[in-house]
Amino acid sequence: MTASDRAVVDVAFDVTGTSLPADNAWLLAQALERRLPWLADEALAGIHPLRAAVTGYGVVLLAQRAKLVLRLPADRLEASLALAGAELDIADCRLVVGEGRARALQPSATLSAQRVATAAGDAQAFEGEVRGLLEDLAIACDLISGRPRHGVAGARAIAGFALTLHGVSAADSVRIQGLGIGGDRRLGWGLFVPAKSMAAVRL
């Protein structure tokens, strides 16, 4: 079975915590991989960015109803539910994971990704790269890049752009959400969600 043949779902876990380091994606991924060792080798696995409020003190404050959302092949759902009850230590910040529930991917004609990793040096080159990837997948839609994005994976720097896809068919919408675009999905890159407007990706 190829990656494109595997059904993909989001698994949303309740979480309890107060604050996390501002740049927490790499630390969160490491903490989760210690609990779910198979996560590191699962090509379709992704970890959505946690909803949090930025402060000026190098930390973010978790939203009151924040969820830890993993994007996973449906055949990994049962294994992922073992995460319930885990206490994650993220740079001395404690995150307690509650029950998880599966959410089917919802088709939408407009999709947004907060960040998509690329080696392209500017937005024009990035858009050309994405068009080529979409052509390879036989997905026809329009696109527009958003603001530049930056992150780290340990000592490795990651760069890219926000991205909106619009005019996407229902079938292709679910497919691109499942496959994503670019690398570093476990750090929240390349993960698409339904968006009400193109403005959403520019935030």
Share of the chain above pLDDT 90, in %: 83
Q: Check if the beta carbon of residue 60 is closer than 8 Å to that of residue 17.
A: no
CATH number for 3-104 (one of 3.20.10.10, 2.60.40.1220, 3.30.70.1890, 3.40.50.620): it is 3.30.70.1890
Each residue of 139-186: pLDDT tens digit?
Answer: 999 999 999 999 999 899 999 999 999 999 999 999 999 999 999 999
pTM of the shown model:
0.90
Each residue of 80-107: pLDDT tens digit?
Answer: 999 999 999 999 899 999 999 999 999 9
**The dihedral formed by the CA atoms of 80, 65, 96 and 115, expressed in degrees to the nearest 10:** 60
Q: Check if the beta carbon of residue 106 is closer than 8 Å to that of residue 99.
A: no
What's residue 188's pLDDT? 96
110-202 and 3-104 share a CATH fold: yes
Q: How far apart are CA 28 and CA 188, in angstroms?
A: 10
Total residues found in the chain within this entry = 203
- The domain 110-202 having CATH identifier 3.90.1690: the answer here is no
What is the H or E stretch that residue 113 is in? Answer: strand 110-117
What's residue 64's pLDDT? 84
The full set of domain ranges for the chain reads 3-104, 110-202
What's residue 57's pLDDT? 85
What is the H or E stretch that residue 94 is in? Answer: strand 93-104
Q: Which residue from 87, 82, 72, 202 is spatially nearest to 144, judged by alpha carbons?
A: 202
Q: Which residue from 37, 41, 99, 105 is spatially nearest to 71, judged by alpha carbons?
A: 105
